[in-house]
Structure 1
């Protein structure tokens, strides 16, 4: 069977690619198809993320094993499309280049019979021009009332000068020019 995906850049403009790929292929094969469809050089790190129907990110599936013990973690190459996507699980998030954070919504649109004479993966449709730079992201932690606001306090620089005017270290025999 052939899986047909719509891969949408997380941007204000409509920029997407429709890709057809064989069900026996892996997430790594889909990664390569996305890289080619959007014109990336393929030299950056990337990851897929499982998500719910509202695109809330969950488990990371990296391109390379990033675990503490080599060979212990699963990578994109370990996940067959046929065991990752089905009628109930149609969505994933894909991030390419962790410095620039090119973020895409990947959605399974159809499962169909292969067309005779077509080699897969196949770019079916392309809409929109890629911007020169990845769209800016607004993270939950950066929003007002977010993560960083929890750590706001009434301290200022004077609070961090705790040893200023304190002669308590003189009792330990340290000399100012000891070396």
Structure 2
């Protein structure tokens, strides 16, 4: 089967690419197709993120395993597209270059049962708009009001807590030296 994706850059102007790719290809193959379709050099780190129907970011699928134990975390090349996306789960977020934060909304627009003879996949089907010189600035906000930001996380360390460790001057048990630097 062939998956057809619409990839939209999170920008003020419409920048869209439609990509056809085989369902048996990996997320790494989709990453490479997106990099090529948008004209990036491919030298930056990227990740996909699963998301819900309203694009709320969930689980990260990175390019590389940065875990403490090699092979502990799954990466893009470990997932075939059909493992993550289908007619029920059609959306995924892609972030390229964690310095500039190029963010893309990737949606499975169609699934076709037949592979076109002579077609090379992945294939750029449609291109609209030019990528801007800089990524759109992201404004991250907390879910709570600024005035209430500390009420939920009050410091509850008191003398009883310090006494449990032998007082505030008794931290030898933790292996800290007074002049450690």
Query: Which range, TM-score by smaller chain?
Result: 0.7 to 0.9
The alpha-carbon deviation at position 64 of structure 1 amounts to 0.4
TM-score where L is the length of structure 1: 0.80
Q: What whole-Å deviation, never above 9, does each CA across 1:95-119 have from its counterpart, x for those lacking one? A: 0000100000000000112111110
d(CA) in 2 for partners of 1:68, 1:89: 30
CA-atom RMSD in angstroms: 1.7
Three-state SS of the structure 2 residue aligned to 1:98 is coil
Residue-pair matches, total: 150
Partner residue, 2:128: 127
Three-state SS of the structure 1 residue aligned to 2:88 is coil
The alpha-carbon deviation at position 149 of structure 1 amounts to 6.2
Q: What whole-Å deviation, never above 9, does each CA across 1:36-56 have from its counterpart, x for those lacking one? A: 000001111100000000000
Segments of structure 2 that go 5 or more residues without pairing to the other structure are: 152-181
Where do residues 73-84 of structure 1 align in structure 2 (5 Å cutoff)?
A: 73-84=73-84
Partner residue, 1:138: 139
Partner residue, 1:57: 57
Three-state SS of the structure 1 residue aligned to 2:87 is coil
- Structure 1 residue runs of 4 or more that deviate by more than 3 Å after TM superposition: none
Max Rg structure:
1
The alpha-carbon deviation at position 83 of structure 1 amounts to 1.5
TM-score where L is the length of structure 2: 0.79
Segments of structure 1 that go 5 or more residues without pairing to the other structure are: 153-179
The alpha-carbon deviation at position 12 of structure 1 amounts to 1.8
